[in-house]
Structures are given as C-alpha cells and as structure tokens.
Amino acid sequence: MPDLNKVDPSIDLTSAHEHQDFSVLSKVAVAIMVIGFLILSIAVFGPGAKYPKLFLFSSFGAIAFGSLAYTFLTYFLSPSGVKNNHITTSALTAHGWLAWIMAVGLTGFYVIHYWWSHLFENWYRMMDPLSFYVRGKQTEDWIFYGVLYTFGVLIMGIRAIVKYRHSRYQIIRTCMVIFSQFFLAWLIPSLLVYFKEPEAYVNYFWPLSFKDGFPLHFQSLLQEPSIMAKFLIFWSLGLTFIGTPILTYYFGKRWYCSWVCGCGGLANTVGDPFRQNSSKKLISWKIERWMINSVLIFIVVSTGYIWYVAATAGTLKINPADHYLTKSYGFLIGMVFSGVVGTGFYPILGTRVWCRFGCPQAAILGFIQRFFSRFRITTNGGQCISCGNCSKYCEMGIDVRSYAERGANIVRASCVGCGMCATVCPRGVLNLENGPREGRINKPVSLSDIINFEEDK
Amino acid sequence: MKHIVIIGNGIAGVTAARHLRKLGDDKITIISAETKYFFSRTALMYIYMGHMTLQDTQPYENWFWEKNRIDLIQDKVESVDYSEKKLLLASKTEVSYDSLILATGAKPNMFGWKGQDLDGAQGLYSYQNLQYIEERSHLIKRAVIVGGGLIGIELAEMFLSRNIKVTFLVREKSFWNKILPNEESAMINRHIFEHHIDLRLGAELEEIIGDDSGKVKAIKIKDGEVLDCEFVGLTAGVSPNIDFLKDSDLNLGRGIKIDQTFKTNMPDVYAIGDCAEFEVPLEGRLPIEQVWYTGKMHGETVAHVIQGEEKTYKPGTWFNSAKFLDIEYQTYGMVLGQLFDGQETFYWEAPNGKISVRINFSKETMAVEGFNFMGLRARHEVCVPWIENKITLKEVIENFGAANFDPEFYKKYEAVIVQQYNEEYPNDRVELKTKKGLFSNYIQKFKRFSLTERSS
Ligand SMILES: Cc1cc2nc3c(=O)[nH]c(=O)nc-3n(C[C@H](O)[C@H](O)[C@H](O)COP(=O)(O)OP(=O)(O)OC[C@H]3O[C@@H](n4cnc5c(N)ncnc54)[C@H](O)[C@@H]3O)c2cc1C
Ligand code: SF4
Ligand code: SF4
C-alpha cells in the first residue's frame, strides 16, 4: 500500500505548509500594466506620432508584460482548477467603481472611434511602422482598431488558457479563437491588402457581415480582375449557404460563435472577466427572443428588398436602397449595438450582449441549433446540487441550472457552446455532446424517474 | 381546500411545496427562519469565496412564489400543538394547519468539546454561520478545522481563498477514510498538502482555549500540542435539527421517525429531508439520508402521498458526488473505506496521482457492485444500470468508454485501463470495445435491458 502521507516536495514551490502570498508582486504587475495604458494615452496627444516606435513598443510591451505577469501570479502558481475567487466582490467584475470607469472609458473610445476618429490621428501614426510592414499602407481608424482588437484577444486569450488550464476543451477552443482572430481576421486581410487584393475578413459572412449579401458587394468583387476576388465570393457564399447548415447540424452553433467568430473571440478573451454579468432573468430571455429575431427578419427582408430593386433595375450597381440600408444598418447595428453597447458595456451587462440580443448570424445559427442539430448539453442523471455555478458563468444568460436540476438536457437556440457551464460545474453534471437526435430533447417530470432510468413521460 | 404548512424552506420543503402545487389547489405555506427565499445550501462556500452571491444560489426568482401561490413566512416555529393542529411562532402568531410537513434540516454536531461555545468556534451549516465567519474573517490569521469530512474540506478551501492559514485536524489516519478507500483517501491527503493546508492526520481536538473576553485564542490537540488560532470550525458531521420538537408525543429517535410514506406517528404530520429517520430503512440505504437529492426525492414523494396518490419512495441505487479542492469525486453504488464481504476491487490510478477509477465487484459472480471516480466524470445513466443488471467486471472494462462523461478533448484512459486489467487478469484478456462518444447506443441497450428486467 502506498504511504498515505507521502507528498513529493519537488512539486512544492514553497515550503511544506506555508501558504505564499503573492499580493505584492501582483500589485507590481498591475502597476506595469497601468503604466502601459498611461503611455498609450500620452501617445494620442502627440508624442505617439513623433516617436512611433518608442511609444508603440513601450505601451504595448508594458501592457502585455504586466497583464501576463499578473495572470501568471494569480492563476498559475496554484494547482489547476476553477479559479473564480472574489469575482462577486471585486470592484472590476462585480459592478463596482472600476467597472463603471472601464465601461465609460470603453464606450467613450467607441464613440470617438466611430464619429471623431481624427482625434486618434496620433495613434494611427504611431501604428504606421507596423502597418507598413504588414499591409504596405499607412494606418487608418479600422486598422488601428484591428490591431488593438487582435492584441486584446491574444493577451487575454493567454490569460483564459492559463485560468482554465484544467479543461482541455477550454485550452483548445481558446487557441482556436486566438488563431482565428490573428490569422483570419487580421493577418490574412492585411496580406490581401499587401498583395493588392480586395480586403476581406474571411471569418465573417452574411448575415453578420450584411454587406456580403448585398448586390454592391458582388458588383465590386466581380469588377476585380483577380482570381482571389472570385474565390472570396465563393468562400463567403459557401459559408453562408453550405458551411453554416452543415457544420451547425453536426456541432451546433458553437463551431462559429465560440471557435471562429471575432466578436465571440473578443467576448471569450477580453470579456472573460465579465461573463458572469449577463442577466439570467426570465424577462431577459423574453426580450432576447424578440430582439434577435427582429434583427434577423430586418436583415432578411432588407436584403431581399435590395435584390428586388437591383433585379428590377437590371444592375448590381449601387441603388438608393442599398446605400440607405447599408448606412442605417451599419450605424444602428454595427456601431451602436455591437460596438458601443456590445463591447463598451462588457463590465456592466456581461460579454455577449450583442451576440445574445442583436446578432443576425447568431439568430440563424441558433434556429438551426434548436431544431435541426445533433448538439445538446447532456445532464448527468441526478448529480446536480443546484449550486448555480453553471447559470452564473453562462455568458448567454441561460439558466442552465433550471435544466440540470430537473435532469433535462439543454437545447437552447442561444447557447454558444463555450463550455463554461461544464467547466465550472463542481459535480460533473454537464457535458457538451454531439450525438443522435433521438432523445436529444428530454422532458423528465421527476427526479425519481430519472434516477430509476424510467422512460420519459 | 386544505392548508398545508411546511416548516423549513430547504430543498426538501421547497420540492414538496412545488409538487403539491403541481398536483392540487391547496393553500400552501412555508415557514422558515433562516432566509426568506430558498437558496442552495450546497453553494454556501461559493458565496464566501466570491464565486456567487446569495441571490445567485437561489434557484427561483422572487416572483416565483407568489405566482405559484406558495406563501412564505420568515419566522421560527417555537412549538407544535398536534391535537389542535396549530403552530406557535416566535413572533407569537399562531398558524393552523390541516397537514404539516416537517423539513427542518440538520445542524452541526457538537460533541461537548471544552470551549465549543466560545466566540469564534462554530460549524458551517446555515447562512447565519456563513455571515458569522465573514464578519470575523479579517481577524483570522489561522483557522483550525476539526473533522475531516465534506464540509470540513469546503471550509478549508474557503479560508484558502482569503489567504488564511488552515490547520486541519482529522481523527482518522487518513482523510475521510471511513468512506474513501485507502488509495483515494491518500490521493486527497496529497492534494490537501499541495494546497499548503496543514493537515494533521490522526489528530483529535482536546479543548478550545479562550481569552478573557471569551474569544477563541488557541486549541489543544490530544497529544498536548497547543496551536494559536482565531477561529475553530467544528465540522464533525451533522445531525437532525429537532430540538424544538422534543417533549411531545412525536416519535423521535436521532431524527423524526417516519414510515415508508414519510408519515410520523402524529396524524397528518410528515417529515422529510435531513431531519427524518426511517423506522425501517430501505435495503441498501441508511435510516437518515442527509444529501441533496434524497431531500428532493422525499419532497416529491411526500407531495404525492399527501394528495392521496400512489407513489412509493424509490431512491434507486446509491450515488453521490463531492469535490475535494480541485479533485472531483463521483460514486455509484455503495463504496466505503472497506470492501464488503465477498467483494474484490479493481483500481486504476493515473500517473499524475489525481485521477482514478475503482470498481468493486463480487468475487463469486464478477458482477460490478460499486464505482468510485476521482478527477474523472462518469455517466450516472450507464454506471447504475451496470450495477443493477449485475454486469461483469470484464464487460464493464471492455465498454468503459460508455461511462466516460469527461468533456470533449479530455485525455481518455479507456485503453490504459484495459491494459491494466489484462495485466491483472492475464487469463481473461479483454479488448476495448466501446470508445467514448458512441454512448447513446449503449445507453439505449442498457435502458431497455433494465426496463424489461423490471417489468418481468
Ligand atoms: C456546507 C454544506 C455543503 C453541502 N454540500 C452538499 C453536497 O455537495 N451534496 C449533497 O448531496 N449534500 C450537501 N449538503 C447537504 C445538503 O445541503 C442537505 O442534505 C440539504 O440541504 C438538506 O435539506 P433540507 O431541506 O432537509 O434541510 P435544510 O436545507 O437544512 O432546511 C431546513 C430549513 O428549516 C429551517 N428551520 C429549522 N427549524 C425551524 C423552525 N423551528 N422554525 C422555522 N424554520 C426552521 C432552517 O432554518 C432551514 O432553513 C451540504 C450541506 C452543507 C451544510
Ligand atoms: S449543473 Fe453543476 S454547476 Fe449547475 S447547478 Fe448543478 S451542480 Fe451546480
Ligand atoms: S449554456 Fe453553457 S455552453 Fe452554452 S453558452 Fe451557456 S455556459 Fe456556454
């Protein structure tokens, strides 16, 4: 029999029973990160344009180093496992003063970025060295935003990997999210520009990228002489009409929403500290269904209408409806909803406000997931103790517990398959699975039937 | 319309109320002292650690109760008058009932240790206990926890989250060794050390020492050692919370005595959950069942009984789960620290010492009788029918993948388990047949199997 008290001292970072406190080092790490943000702020007032490389590297470097060091100290030094301590008490993650400062800051950033982007001119000049290197062009507002976005996904993605390292599902998924943002949404579009091809964010397509379904888009791509342009038409239509139904049938909407999509990617990395703030109230679910389906209907109807106008006019060229709809949709949905509210309010409303209430892609994927997919979250018999962790950490505001405690599988249109409910469940109750559709939706009436394995009534 | 009164808004009482409402139109009142709204006791630790707020642990939104016409009274019941069928509350109001359900839960055991009533010494059961600990936490440099069970280790984890040093006194030679077999128990010992908890095995509390103001200042262990501390967590088990029911004709043992239909010896009075004690326990079950799902099932069943419907209490094969710091534990079938007569065991442990599978089986028939899983999730729906249908160890090992409930991409251990089996039983070699993922066919097979068994 093994020695009951044996503990291998080599795995101990500290002496046997001493509990080490890293709070001082953590504070230093946070301070370095804050200094990085300060340098970045100073840059926008002029120095950034004057000394681009110095400001670019020192600000991004300090932010990266500080946040990674903090991640390491907070999550890596203790054994792997669920690490959600102090989330409901921290001023940042529990609607405290830090959360409000951050929300105001982020929202302000989006407002300036959309409407007064010239105010960020010095930042764009600061970014020029990188931009010329990768794209062969100078920086514009969206290029700068893209770099920030990708940087955020990368750094906070590493944080998510370290924090959730006890779950291989989370590790692999987060790697894919980072890959998708870095390559599909940043490097490839940049290189396309570098090689004088049409710029395309290849992880977006209709209806989320609504323009991809509008006549003007086809017109402009068809005008391009290159093969790449033709390929991009094929790619985007293929994803909308073939990729989406097939992949969603097999894997649920998660293949897109929490593996590929950049919005989802941002939510699951930069937004991860705030995922618990999504509302779990029944009323929110009702509002969600109204809103998201209205957006979808709006997109489908307006896309249809523009094609109708184009068909009757006999040209793909810009028509007033196309122009007007592109503008108003771009403003209302693209900017106000997905940007200002969707991301700006991360600390207040949780991470997936846009995905949950406004994204037309999510609506379509959700519809397929709910009615025609093999995906479900399985509940493990009678093991649920109704603790509520799953519901709390569901970023889509699904009351997972209300299913789990009845022994009912979770088949919900909104579930993005992030897997966090299964990751945080302390009793091993939940499992994301793709399986035969038979028995996927079960409606058990009583616990006694579940644990005696009687047929669902 | 009857008036059904329930004392206690824990899982047992609330489940009873919900099912009573589903089944009929009677007036339902729940009287409970601890909190106005039902919350999950099992999540108390997460409130302290900052994973959830009290509200997050409440399975129903506040409007639920009014909508379902379940009246809530937050008050303490002082006494019950069984002949007049009425209750006296602490606020001196009286409530009369037609049927009464006692669902008063449990309370921490106090074994008469010297100093157990000092300020800073207490158990962990109620929301008030939690608030008490919260208020004192900033003063605690070292906490001593007495009693190595499920609540003790949760309390230890709670203190770790606040960087408070923990000394953990466990009377047994190894952690929770009455229930956990040696290997699993040793695994948890190692894991406790890994978290820098000062685990003292085979150590018993002698007394708690107070200062002049009546606050805890140290404890003394049986071997004479004195340890300074500001808090003592007394977590040596729980017992039924029935003190206010004593001195009446209600039949009490350790808990409130009930028959198979949850009836007490008093007319129209029932008892369910942690406070109830079966006069004659079901085969393979304990007379007092103090876990979450049994509370739920008691509540569900008693509602049917009160409405005069056919429904027998069928808790099925024993199962349970817990989490020791970062290691999850699931068990199906009765597995204790020692094997039962005529049993043998198959045990596999991963090289990292944090994942294991134990299968107990009958020496004579090779039929599996119990499972323990550490750090690996297993399907209830597969493991229990395996036990109930007396499937052999060999078949279980071959099809082990069907039981695997780990998330996607997790490392799979089916092949190494087969390999170990083949090494231990070279004359009876097996091949891996069911990999994880093909679960549903397999489940269907066993479901059908178990159903025909039952109906025949
Ligand atoms: C910290 C902790 C962790 C646990 N973890 C798990 C776990 O992981 N898995 C598991 O299966 N089980 C667990 N348990 C056990 C489980 O919580 C209990 O079995 C279950 O809550 C019992 O439910 P109940 O409804 O019988 O009683 P309770 O939940 O105790 O409810 C009884 C209620 O009645 C009230 N009451 C009592 N007397 C009176 C009176 N005279 N007047 C008014 N009100 C009164 C009490 O205040 C209390 O609110 C845990 C218990 C604790 C304390
Ligand atoms: S499914 Fe898991 S996390 Fe959710 S309430 Fe049940 S035990 Fe808690
Ligand atoms: S239900 Fe689970 S997998 Fe689905 S979105 Fe919520 S946390 Fe993610």
Give domain B319-455's CATH architecture: 2-Layer Sandwich (3.30)
**What's the number of CA atoms in the CB half-sphere (13 Å) around residue A325?**
22
Average pLDDT over chain A reads 89
Question: In which band, very low, low, confident or very high, does the pLDDT at A222 lie, cut at 50, 70 and 90?
Answer: confident
pLDDT per residue over B95-107, tens digit each?
999 999 999 999 9
pLDDT per residue over A159-208, tens digit each?
999 999 999 999 999 999 999 999 999 999 989 888 888 888 888 888 88
Q: Which residue puts its alpha carbon closest to atom 8 of ligand 3?
A: A418
Question: Can you give the residue ranges of every domain in chain B?
Answer: 3-107+239-306, 121-236, 319-455
Q: What DSSP letter does each residue of A241-270 carry, written as one string?
A: IIIHHHHHHHH-THHHHTTT-HHHHHHHHT
Strand, helix or coil for residue A427: coil
- Least confident among A9-23, A53-67, A394-408, B407-421: A9-23
Check residue B177 and give its pLDDT: 96
Cα–Cα separations (whole angstroms), residue A282 to A354, A387, A388:
18, 18, 15
Q: Which residue puts its alpha carbon closest to atom 5 of ligand 2?
A: A386
Cα–Cα separations (whole angstroms), residue A38 to A31, A43, A127, B378:
10, 9, 17, 50
Enumerate residues lining ligand 3, CB below 6 A: A 394-396, 398, 400, 410, 415-421
Check residue A238 and give its pLDDT: 92
Rounded average pLDDT over B371-393: 95
- Residues from chain A contacting residue B313 (CB–CB below 8 Å): 448
Rounded average pLDDT over A212-235: 84
Q: For A53, phi and psi rounded to 5 degrees?
A: -65, -45
Please determine, for residue A63, whether its predicted confidence score (pLDDT) is greater than 70: yes
Strand, helix or coil for residue B406: coil
Q: Which ligand is nearest to the CA of B273?
A: 1
Please determine, for residue A411, whether its predicted confidence score (pLDDT) is greater than 70: yes
Please determine, for residue B112, whether its predicted confidence score (pLDDT) is greater than 90: yes
Give domain B121-236's CATH architecture: 3-Layer(bba) Sandwich (3.50)
Pick among A386, A391, A398, A409 to test the B interface (most B CBs inside 10 A): A386
Check residue B53 and give its pLDDT: 98
Instruction: Give the global pTM.
Output: 0.94
Check residue A333 and give its pLDDT: 74
Question: In which band, very low, low, confident or very high, does the pLDDT at A11 lie, cut at 50, 70 and 90?
Answer: very low
Please determine, for residue B93, whether its predicted confidence score (pLDDT) is greater than 50: yes
Q: Which residue puts its alpha carbon closest to atom 6 of ligand 3?
A: A394
Question: In which band, very low, low, confident or very high, does the pLDDT at A8 lie, cut at 50, 70 and 90?
Answer: very low
Rounded average pLDDT over A77-99: 95
B3-107+239-306 under CATH 3.50.50.60, yes or no:
yes
Check residue A233 and give its pLDDT: 87
- Least confident among A11-20, A119-128, A444-453: A11-20
User: Could you tell me if B370 and B331 are in contact, meaning their C-beta atoms sit under 8 angstroms apart?
Assistant: yes
C-alpha torsion sign, points A229, A230, A233, A239: negative
- Judge if the beta carbon of residue A125 lies within 6 A of ligand 2: no
Question: In which band, very low, low, confident or very high, does the pLDDT at B445 lie, cut at 50, 70 and 90?
Answer: low
Question: In which band, very low, low, confident or very high, does the pLDDT at A17 lie, cut at 50, 70 and 90?
Answer: very low
Domains present along chain A, CATH in parentheses = 276-361 (no CATH), 374-456 (3.30.70.20)
> For chain A, how big is the Rg over CA atoms in Å?
24
Residues 6+ apart with CB under 8 A from B177: B185, B337
Check residue A457 and give its pLDDT: 36
Check residue A306 and give its pLDDT: 84
What percent of chain B is modeled with pLDDT above 90? 91
Is the Cβ of B191 closer than 8 Å to some Cβ of chain A? yes
Residues A149-180 as b/e (b if ≥16 CB within 10 A, e otherwise) read bbbbbbbbbbbbbbbbbbbebbbebbebbbeb
Check residue A216 and give its pLDDT: 79
User: Could you tell me if B231 and B133 are in contact, meaning their C-beta atoms sit under 8 angstroms apart?
Assistant: yes
- Least confident among A1-10, A365-374, B186-195: A1-10
Cα–Cα separations (whole angstroms), residue A155 to A61, A105, A237, B173:
11, 19, 32, 46
Please determine, for residue A221, whether its predicted confidence score (pLDDT) is greater than 90: no
pLDDT per residue over B147-189, tens digit each?
989 999 999 999 999 999 999 999 999 999 999 999 999 999 9
The whole-angstrom distance between B287's CA and the closest CA on chain A is 18
- Fold: same for B3-107+239-306 and B121-236: yes
- Residues from chain A contacting residue B330 (CB–CB below 8 Å): 383, 427-428
Nearest CB neighbour to B440, from listed A167, A401, A435: A435
Rounded average pLDDT over B138-144: 97
Reading the block at residue A224, the tokens are 């391009």
Rounded average pLDDT over B22-45: 97
How many CB atoms neighbour CB A387 within 10 A? 30
User: Could you tell me if A439 and A410 are in contact, meaning their C-beta atoms sit under 8 angstroms apart?
Assistant: no
Please determine, for residue B367, whether its predicted confidence score (pLDDT) is greater than 90: yes
Rounded average pLDDT over A214-233: 84
Is the CB of B385 less than 8 angstroms away from the CB of A90? Answer: no
As for the ipTM of the complex, it is 0.95
Please determine, for residue A149, whether its predicted confidence score (pLDDT) is greater than 50: yes
